[in-house]
Structure 1
Amino acid sequence: MAELEAGLHLDDVALPDNEPPTAEALCRERGAASLCGLLLLRRALATRPGFLATAAAPRSISLLRMPSLEWLDDVGYAWSCVTEEHDRQAERGEVAALERELGDPRLVAVRVRQQQGKRIGSRRGAYVIRVRGAAPRMAEAEFLSALSQGRPVHVLAADPGMVHPTVRLGVQQGLRVGLPDAALLADLALLLRGEAEGSVPHAALPIVPPGLAGRAAEVLPLHLLLADRPGISAQQMLDHLDRMLDPHHAPWTEEADPEGDGGAARPVARRDLRREVRLDDLPGMGAAGPWARQVAADLRAYRSGALPWTELCRGAVLAGPPGTGKSTIVRAMAAEAEVPLVTGSLAEWQGSRDGHLGDLLRSMRDCFATARRQAPCVLLIDEIDSFPSRASIRHRHRDYVLQVVNGLLELLDGALPRDGVVVVGTCNDPSDLDPALLRPGRLEEVIPVPLPDAEALVEILRVHLGRGRGGGDGSVDHGMPVSEDDLLDLGHAALEREATGAVVERWCRDARRRAAAQGRSVTAADLRTVLGPGRPPVTPALRHRTAIHEAGHVLAYEAAAPGCVLEARLTLRGPLAGATELHPDRNPAVPPLHTPRSLWLTLRAQLAGRAAEEELLGVASSGAGGSPQSDLALATRMALTLLGAHGVGCEPEALCWHGPPEHLSDPGTRALLPPDLRESVQELLTSAYAGARDLVRANTALVNDIAGTLLGTGRLDGQAIAKLLGAHGISDPAADADEPEAAQAGEARR
């Protein structure tokens, strides 16, 4: 037969007899990490049946999202093996078709050789981009040249945000390769030992230890390299992985002299007695406790594939006084969910280099990119109130701060997805947070973390003295003779001092150090010494007056905005000895917009403590005034700024802007204000105080009931308050007024 166009003769060609190794064999030969990468890749491809075919198409651009940067090489190698295997299967189909068409095997071989020479656009000619590092780097000319030649492009990246923008623009399909789980690790161990699940008796199948099952997503190629040792069984390999990922496990150290008479040295495992803090170790969390437990459960379900990201909480802000354990709650939540914790703050990002805007924004982006690579995870932004509300920025660096806040908003809910990343901010005062931070899809809600009550303080003492919660045997472990009665007494002493969990921890640490210096165990006397004498005790008469005062506040605030009171409490020591705390999201003093009615109702609530004292005890004390944060000071500032800066409640002929709120609230400039404005403020406060007395007078039994319960328990939460209100109901004399007294004050003056 004549020679063919490729210069080949039938006698010179033959079909190959040797079958190339499979993808599984190639990955097994390379090591445990590559074989694991193959299993992860096949699991992802099973959800996208047409992905390989599309990836072979000329000029197609396919993106493979790696589980993390550490998996890039091994999953990338598995991808090359799978694509080559897919090519061979496609060629076998072509050969079978040619055999049916040509008949002669030699003609088939010649045609196959010719087609291989022309297969420029096949996957063997694919242009592969592996994205590493924090900045996208790529030879753009080579990429465009590959496309012009008709070659497909395969992009392998742990973070799609790091892919070159030109490449990202043309991506046609994407595939997300997930992290390992317990079932995949069991399959991997069997494959590495040369066994298949069906060939092993059920009783002999390896069991993934519970600790490893919970931390399977943390397994990295390095762990597999260390765990895959010759001569060990599949079960031994899994047990070795479990030990490596156990947070209590420490490297082995060598004890005994290897050359001494005692024979060979024996490795002794030293175990770190510290452990990760869990949510059960944190009593007194308030509403943050149930929220954190739910988020932890949802993250575990998301990691296992049982819950989609669309069903998870995107984030929240934990707000409370310093030392209440907000950051500790977030760490415990991540530990409970068995996911990584990534941390950041404005101070950290700004201090990463020299504080230039570009460096700050780059550090912020890098932190979020790290979180996306480790997803599912928790990202903690500490002191998030460092990002101010954009509406409050008045200084000359406004443009700088605006771009910083806008950068954070973009990262929370911008073009780049953050699937699997729950963002939690912590702060002391959420009132100055930009409202855009709390929108759905970003941080969504503010969750208060209150000061611990007496019961919680007792449990905190138990935790830090060494005994688990809910002991009940009358003493603390490790021989420390602190009885249950002593713990209760110390808990009340801590409550008198308005102690936080952090303060109690320091007290316990100081007491242990004091006892250790004397060579003995800690005692209750050590703790009392550390606590000190405390403030003078509150007399029964003052405590009763304080309970009446706080009951008046509770009544008026609940009448203005039902459900707004988070907590009312008394202390056993100190001059004020009481406080009423409002829910950050329902505080009637900070609505989106004030009207004359909402202003009057809020002023009434701020002055209702004084009104309750006067109505029920015959005379008001000085407790409502004095400091800049007193009831009277807050009410005066609020009336002054809303009348003078916002014009709320002003008559048309008196309407005037007297300056910004911060100017009007400055005591140094208040004397310079127009007399008519000062007169309007005084009339408004007088009207609101009269309304507060009317409200207390109409609900005397309810105020006494709230005060009596508060005297008995020392603290009332929102549920207890709702129960009391439900039993009595609130009779509000101003309920039917359209604009009670607030608008009437100006009319009377006119």
Structure 2
Amino acid sequence: MLRRLLEADPTLHGRAREPGAVLVVEVPDAEWVVPVAETWRMLIQGTDEVPFDGDDAQDRPYRRISKIEPSWAEFRRDGSDRWHRPEDGNGAVRTMVASGRPVYGFSPAPARCLPSDLLRAATATVTVGPLDPAALAEAATMLTGAAPVTASVPPEVARLVTVGDLWLARLPHQDADDYLRRLAELASQRLSVRPLTLDGLHGMDEAARWGKDVARDLTDYARGALPWRDVDRGAVLVGPTGTGKTTFARALAAQCGVPLVTGSLGQWQGAKDGHLGTTLGAMRGTFEAARKAAPCILLVDEIDSFGNRTTFRHHDRDYSVQVVNAFLEELDGAAGREGVVVLGCCNDASRIDPAILRPGRLERLIRVPLPDQAALAAILRHHLGTDLPGADLSRLALLGFGSTGAEAERWVRGMRRRARHDRREATLADLEAELRGGGPRPAPEVLRRVAIHEAGHAVVAALGRPGALISATVVAQGDRAGRVLWTEPADGQTTVTRAALSTLLREALAGRAAEEELLGEASAGSGGGAESDLATATRLATAAVTALGLDKGGGALVWRGLPEAAGVPALLAARPDVARRVGEMLDAAYAETRSVVRHHGLAICRLADMLVAKETVPGAEIEALVAASGAAAKDCRPPCAGRRPRRVRP
């Protein structure tokens, strides 16, 4: 590789030997530092003389150098020692340059590992590698004494060859072809364990585009070709749990070739006793570690847990405000964070203090949606690896449409566990069984009720918010017999009015209304825990009465505070007047919902038929069905209304 560099630039040899020359030699990775430095010594200096080690001179950096000492100096830094950082070794660089000796710095990350003065004084920068098929063929010729005839290493494998591979591939009595074949086998093992990069992420297009831009900019910054002021300082990823936000951070760091430093408010509070000083000290420690590792990615998980200072009303308000202020100080305070790109992750961007998102801090908000059918199939294929080769995953991706990447990974783990316990190869049926939750298919009358319930939600959502539907399914997941997924409006893209509130209440109550109108009786499926339909509707109505000013009764303009979800039952128990108004609002919304269900009962029944047959229906098909059924809609009880099946919980 070095010989080809010298052939490409005939002046490089002479420039490297000039008195006072300062050259930076960037190598592919840490393993290449010593081999490249040794080869450089032979090709440039042409001697076995041991060079002056700049790191050995740090105890006496400004001493006089005698004429009998080595005629050139070098720094070999792979980042493995604590003094492999820009602030160490600058005195030695100045002494060597002043003495007229050439100085060479070898590192896989010059900006992070070599003395800053060496980079400032550099008269040339040389980039070595990575390996390519031609270089490996030349190496095989040198080792065996003859050129390869038939064998070659593919380019994508050649880039993975390490120094160790070059040694391990050599066997006695081996010709060049045998050497290259063995070398390709060793390097190919690394293909299946290569770190995940942004190209390996699916369904995160916006985040991946931003990440690739950051990777390019960080590379240019590390080489000194781009000032830090022109690099994005950070972003916040917003999306449901399990959509791969943390995985994105690992992939971004791998794509950039920089360390990943992690932290969170929960981690900092749990560092010791949770007292304010301890929490802030742990936070400062994480940011200081990131500064020392720069350039790097700093992941702050669950960044919405800091909260918004304008909404703090609890007795720990002073504590929480100081935590947020300290975090803001770390983001752009006097200590700075040059070279540190901060990536925040959260589920609810509305809870983030606006100051965190200001320019110069985490200035970009990137939404990470649930994967679509194609992306979910690709995620399954990624986690399957070499299992189920050639299997058509599109049907399972449709069945699992609306699930997260984390759920897909869980299905694959379960598939392998089934096969492992039975001492056999995994099958597509194993994967489908895990997707379905491992339970048997429900009885026909139960499945029909679930389909009617979910179809009610889906049709009412399609009518109230066109374009928002993602999918409807009757595939059981956990304690849910089915579910309907839709996108939430982006921040600032909607205004909460009484009409908008009524739309949301109808969506929440539509499943129960469909059961009652079309099957003659509602089951308990709309009730239950804090995530149930009735709980959702109650929370919305309570907020409308106490905080949003959307109640039509007297005193609607009195702000009583936005209740936390967990506090709604206690609030309603303590305030009968609020409970009465919430009940009236829900009764009115339910009456409206039943009317909508009656008018669009035919569409609901048709969608229920599709759900029974296909189990999962994408949102686009549902909206097409609703549009086609609109002309035929009328107040009636369609043929799907029948006898009352037993109660189930959809």
The DSSP-based 3-state class of the residue aligned with 2:189 is: coil
- Match of 2:504, as an amino acid? T
Which residue in the other structure is 2:532 paired with? 630
Structure 2 CA distance for aligned equivalents of residues 563 and 235 of structure 1: 59
Aligned-pair distance for 1:634? 0.8
**2:339 equivalent among 416, 424, 438:** 416
The DSSP-based 3-state class of the residue aligned with 2:528 is: coil
The 3 A distance-change label for structure 1 pair 67 and 711 is same
Aligned-pair distance for 1:617? 3.9
Aligned-pair distance for 1:717? 2.6
Structure 2 CA distance for aligned equivalents of residues 157 and 277 of structure 1: 22
Aligned-pair distance for 1:607? 2.2
- Match of 1:189, as an amino acid? A
Residue 587 of structure 1 pairs with residue 488 of structure 2:
yes
CA RMSD of aligned residues (A): 6.5
**1:668 equivalent among 570, 589, 600:** 570
Which residue in the other structure is 2:511 paired with? 609
Q: Which deviates more, 57-66 or 70-79?
A: 57-66
Based on CA coordinates, which of the two structures has the bigger radius of gyration? 1
Structure 2 CA distance for aligned equivalents of residues 219 and 351 of structure 1: 43
Which residue in the other structure is 1:388 paired with? 304
The DSSP-based 3-state class of the residue aligned with 2:130 is: coil
Structure 2 CA distance for aligned equivalents of residues 730 and 52 of structure 1: 82
Which residue in the other structure is 2:286 paired with? 360
Counting only pairs closer than 5 Å after superposition, residues 70-469 of structure 1 correspond to structure 2 as 70-78=31-39, 130=77, 132=79, 133=81, 136=85, 137-145=87-95, 155-163=105-113, 167=117, 170=120, 175=125, 177=127, 179-189=129-139, 192-193=142-143, 205=149, 207-210=151-154, 213-227=155-169, 232-247=174-189, 288=202, 346=263, 356-361=282-287, 385-391=301-307, 396=319, 415-416=338-339, 444-448=366-370, 468=389
Q: Would the aligned equivalents of 2:153 and 2:181 in 1 still touch at CA under 8 Å? A: yes
Aligned residues: 553
- Match of 2:339, as an amino acid? L
The 3 A distance-change label for structure 1 pair 164 and 464 is closer
- Match of 2:526, as an amino acid? A
Aligned-pair distance for 1:580? 1.1
The DSSP-based 3-state class of the residue aligned with 1:448 is: coil
**1:502 equivalent among 410, 425, 428:** 410
Structure 2 CA distance for aligned equivalents of residues 173 and 690 of structure 1: 80
Which residue in the other structure is 1:484 paired with? none
- Match of 2:532, as an amino acid? S
Residue 715 of structure 1 pairs with residue 616 of structure 2:
yes
Q: Would the aligned equivalents of 2:603 and 2:633 in 1 still touch at CA under 8 Å? A: no
Higher relative contact order (CA 8 A, sep 6+): 2
Aligned-pair distance for 1:664? 7.9
- Match of 1:502, as an amino acid? R
Aligned-pair distance for 1:669? 3.1
Structure 2 CA distance for aligned equivalents of residues 78 and 464 of structure 1: 39
- Match of 1:219, as an amino acid? V
Structure 1 CA distance for aligned equivalents of residues 114 and 258 of structure 2: 28
Structure 1 CA distance for aligned equivalents of residues 306 and 427 of structure 2: 52
Aligned-pair distance for 1:570? 1.1
The 3 A distance-change label for structure 1 pair 369 and 139 is closer
The 3 A distance-change label for structure 1 pair 524 and 554 is closer
Aligned-pair distance for 1:604? 2.7
Structure 2 CA distance for aligned equivalents of residues 164 and 558 of structure 1: 60
The 3 A distance-change label for structure 1 pair 598 and 69 is farther
Q: Would the aligned equivalents of 2:452 and 2:511 in 1 still touch at CA under 8 Å? A: yes
Structure 2 CA distance for aligned equivalents of residues 352 and 74 of structure 1: 45
Structure 1 CA distance for aligned equivalents of residues 114 and 428 of structure 2: 64
The 3 A distance-change label for structure 1 pair 129 and 242 is closer
- Match of 2:482, as an amino acid? G
TM-score by length of 2: 0.61
Q: Would the aligned equivalents of 1:66 and 1:156 in 2 still touch at CA under 8 Å? A: yes
**1:705 equivalent among 576, 583, 606:** 606
Residue 67 of structure 1 pairs with residue 28 of structure 2:
yes
Q: Which deviates more, 591-600 or 143-152?
A: 143-152
Aligned-pair distance for 1:731? 11
Residue 550 of structure 1 pairs with residue 454 of structure 2:
yes
Structure 1 CA distance for aligned equivalents of residues 429 and 270 of structure 2: 46
1:115-169 Cα offsets, whole Å, 9 max, x none, are xxxxx9xx97778674633552523434455566788865543235524785389
Aligned-pair distance for 1:728? 4.5
- Match of 2:160, as an amino acid? E
Which residue in the other structure is 1:743 paired with? none
Q: Would the aligned equivalents of 1:553 and 1:608 in 2 still touch at CA under 8 Å? A: yes
TM-score by length of 1: 0.54
Q: Would the aligned equivalents of 2:601 and 2:633 in 1 still touch at CA under 8 Å? A: no
Q: Which deviates more, 604-613 or 385-394?
A: 385-394
Which residue in the other structure is 1:640 paired with? 542
The DSSP-based 3-state class of the residue aligned with 2:473 is: strand
Structure 1 CA distance for aligned equivalents of residues 520 and 320 of structure 2: 53
Counting only pairs closer than 5 Å after superposition, residues 4-15 of structure 1 correspond to structure 2 as none
Aligned-pair distance for 1:652? 11
Structure 2 CA distance for aligned equivalents of residues 464 and 613 of structure 1: 43
Q: Would the aligned equivalents of 2:37 and 2:76 in 1 still touch at CA under 8 Å? A: no
Aligned-pair distance for 1:710? 1.0
Structure 1 CA distance for aligned equivalents of residues 570 and 366 of structure 2: 39
The 3 A distance-change label for structure 1 pair 537 and 131 is closer
The DSSP-based 3-state class of the residue aligned with 2:564 is: helix
Consecutive unaligned residues in structure 2, runs of 5 or more: 47-66, 217-229, 273-278, 635-650
Q: Would the aligned equivalents of 2:169 and 2:179 in 1 still touch at CA under 8 Å? A: yes
The 3 A distance-change label for structure 1 pair 533 and 169 is closer
Structure 1 CA distance for aligned equivalents of residues 365 and 490 of structure 2: 22
Structure 1 CA distance for aligned equivalents of residues 11 and 137 of structure 2: 25
The 3 A distance-change label for structure 1 pair 154 and 729 is farther
